[in-house]
Amino acid sequence: MRIDDKTMHCPECDSTDLFFDSERAEISCNRCGIVIDESLIDQGPEWRAFNPEQRAQRTRTGAPLTLTIADKGLRTFMGSNNLDSNGRMFPERNRAQIHRMRKWDKRARVSSVGERNLAIALSDIDRLASRLGVPRSVREDASSIYRNAAKKNIVRGRSIDSVAAASLYIACRRCNIPRTLEEVSEASNISKKQIGKNHRFLARELNIKLQPTSPRDYISRFASKLGLSGMVQAKAIDIIDLSFKKGLNVGKGPSGIAAAALYIASILLGEKKTQKEVSVIAGVTEVTIRNRYKELVEKLDMVV
């Protein structure tokens, strides 16, 4: 296997054309043939198989660690069927005992109030993330934020679901996959005011620096929901960039600017959408779109 790492050089001829021999665990130079390193350790997964079952599955490791589960996916649990490790049915006389063991195993997973609350919060985060359609990385970051807040004991006195929603909102902004407060509020059935209050509190207490959300981050999602083409999206981004140069974004909501830019671009490229259609998708009022529309058209000297 050829090595593409340009930082490695042959000490003899200074060549970067190196070769890794996986069978001998050696790195050699293709130009002069000198062995640069040997007895290398393979840091990859274990693929050897010692029985037919392992050959079929090729891996003997479990699922990776995840912060979205209270126990990080490390704990085991008793299955719900009545089969032993060999696949045979338990005797009738032992089934009541197995049922009691399964019940206590389930109860033992949550040994304290803190763990129970953490499990509830992570479940809320996962449910909200599914409703908002955000990727796994955002769920992991939101779970990390809530865990840090619980560890610092700053969640006490606040509702679990509102702090979970605020954690997810912060994670969306940090991962540059923003969701508006209106969207998070609608998905969680918690007031926008309460989520905003908790998100500011978490950011302050956990020393999280949040950059202002850019209207560009909303363009692709809004345009996709409106059924607009890539040309309209590109034009809307150009309008937003011009508005930034003119300083028209100062003090304005990013979703409102994105909605107005899409509305203008759709008119210019013949894919017109009504202000009502855009306002429903963007989660802003038609008045906001009209105000941003007038500002952009006047300040940028655009003919619409």
Number of structural domains found in the chain = 3
Which among 208, 227, 256 is the end of a domain? 208
Tell me the pLDDT tens digit for each residue of 45-83.
Answer: 666 666 665 555 555 556 677 888 877 776 666 666 777
Tell me the pLDDT tens digit for each residue of 127-143.
Answer: 999 999 899 999 999 99
In this structure, what is the dihedral angle of CA atoms 149, 154, 158, 160, given to the nearest 10 degrees?
A: 20
Provide the domain limits for residue 185: 67-208
Residues 21 and 73 in one domain: no
Which among 16, 41, 61 is the end of a domain? 61
For residue 19, the cross-strand partners are 2, 28
- pTM (two decimals): 0.68
For 23, counting Cβ atoms within 10 Å of its Cβ (0-12 exposed, 13-18 middle, 19+ buried), the class is exposed
**What is the structure's pLDDT at 206?**
93
CATH of the domain at 284: 1.10.472.10
Assigned domain for 268 exists: yes
- Give CA–CA dist 179/282, Å, rounded: 10
Across 107-118, average pLDDT: 76
CATH of the domain at 50: 2.20.25.10
- Give CA–CA dist 210/171, Å, rounded: 10
Assigned domain for 304 exists: no
Phi, psi of 240 (to 5 degrees): -65, -40
